[in-house]
Amino acid sequence: MANRKKGASSFHQTRAPLFFLAPNLLIFFIFIIIPAVSGLRMSFYEWSILGGHSFTGISNYQALIGDAMFWKTLGNTLRFVLFVVPLLTASALCIALLVSAEDSSNGLFRGFYYLPTMLSFVIVGITWRWILGDEIGVLNYIIKQTGGESVQWLTLPAMATTSLIFISVWAQTGFYMVMFVGGLQAIPESLFDAASIDGASKWQTFTKIKLPMIRPTMLVVVVLATINSFKAFELIFVLTKGGPGTATKFLVQSIYQVAFEEDRMGYASSMAVILMLVIGVLTMLQFKLNKEYSNE
């Protein structure tokens, strides 16, 4: 089944790792890469789902340059990512620090914080829509009961963006918290014993031991949060439909609209290719920074 290499202590092998990678690569290749390549091909065509298609070269990409809606939604997306990723990482890490110790109640607390993650985005969306409604929203109702002024949570463009960022963080914190808890729990006890013998303060323990030890986890969290925020779609669509107007319309929603409503598959594919390039470059950058930081 696997190849035996007697006594070899070298990790320079090809056959074994390829064997280990095979199942995953096979699935990726068949179900994602092949369709993605046809998607890439489509971006050089004018392509209708029900109608025909004709080769148009790079004209889709040229059209993107002058497409105001594309730039606006790309801008909206970038702004959203810039806010969500740091907030999400920070909140997940702080909460993980609070509940990473194994005691009787922490398991339960983790369960509570993880709950929102278990809801599908559609449910999260309509629930919050209901809570944040101007007129019959629960939150405004409570505010009014306590004598305050009601707030237009989803109706004012600036407020809607803020609400969306908050809800996105709320809905995903539990997910990244679990990753951080895993990372924190994997830190060998002996390190902490040594630190307490040296009389390190809590803060020193955090900066000198915990932070460096969870850097691999941190990388996962930041990269995944970035990719997922770029792809955010369902939650936003259910909450605001991209509104008010186009204030919270992100690139994926734009792609969707162009692909299925306007039936311009080719053009939508070219937008998707650009989106992928942007995410790809940012992800590479994150890996690079991480490498430099840890001087590998």
Residues 215-234 that bind another protein (CB under 8 A): 216-217, 219-220, 223-224, 227, 230-231, 233-234
Closest by CA to 232, choosing from 251, 258, 210, 204, is: 251
- Rule CB under 8 A: which of 48-87 touch another protein? 49-50
* Tokens linked to 200: 């390190």
- Rule CB under 8 A: which of 165-204 touch another protein? 170, 173-175, 178-179, 181-182, 185-186, 188-190, 202
Q: Give the shortest CB-192-to-another protein separation in angstroms.
A: 10
- Rule CB under 8 A: which of 235-274 touch another protein? 239-246, 249, 252, 255-257, 259-263, 265, 268-269, 272
Which of residues 155 and 162 has its CB atom nearest to another protein in the complex?
155
Residue 83 Cα to chain centre, angstroms: 12
- Rule CB under 8 A: which of 121-160 touch another protein? 122-123, 126-129, 131-138, 141, 152-157, 160
Q: Interface with another protein by CB under 8 A: which range of 53-61, 77-85, 102-110, 204-212?
A: 102-110
Cα gap 176→218, rounded to integer Å: 9
Cα gap 269→280, rounded to integer Å: 16
Which of residues 8 and 197 has its CB atom nearest to another protein in the complex?
8
Does residue 206 belong to the site contacting another protein (CB under 8 A)?
Answer: no
Q: Give the shortest CB-181-to-another protein separation in angstroms.
A: 6
Cα gap 226→85, rounded to integer Å: 6
Which of residues 61 and 141 has its CB atom nearest to another protein in the complex?
141
SS3 (DSSP) at 54: strand
Q: Give the shortest CB-4-to-another protein separation in angstroms.
A: 5
Residue 168: DSSP 8-state: H
Q: Give the shortest CB-188-to-another protein separation in angstroms.
A: 6
Cα gap 155→240, rounded to integer Å: 9
Q: Interface with another protein by CB under 8 A: which range of 3-11, 52-60, 80-88, 204-212?
A: 3-11
Could you tell me how many residues of this chain bind another protein (CB under 8 A)?
Answer: 127
Closest by CA to 245, choosing from 158, 172, 123, 181, is: 158
Q: Which of 74, 93, 95, 164 binds another protein (CB under 8 A)?
A: 95
Q: Give the shortest CB-156-to-another protein separation in angstroms.
A: 8
DSSP conformation letters of 138-189: HHHHHHHHTT-----TTTSHHHHHHHHHHHHHHHHHHHHHHHHHHHHHTS-H
Q: Give the shortest CB-86-to-another protein separation in angstroms.
A: 19
Does residue 117 belong to the site contacting another protein (CB under 8 A)?
Answer: yes
Q: Give the shortest CB-294-to-another protein separation in angstroms.
A: 11
Which of residues 61 and 170 has its CB atom nearest to another protein in the complex?
170
Cα gap 289→276, rounded to integer Å: 20
Q: Are 268 and 39 in contact (CB under 8 A)?
A: no
Cβ neighbours of residue 165 under 8 Å, at least 6 residues apart? 80, 83, 84, 87
Q: Which of 99, 164, 165, 235 binds another protein (CB under 8 A)?
A: 99
Q: What angle do CA 181, 187, 191 make, to 5 degrees?
A: 140
SS3 (DSSP) at 45: strand
Q: Are 293 and 244 in contact (CB under 8 A)?
A: no
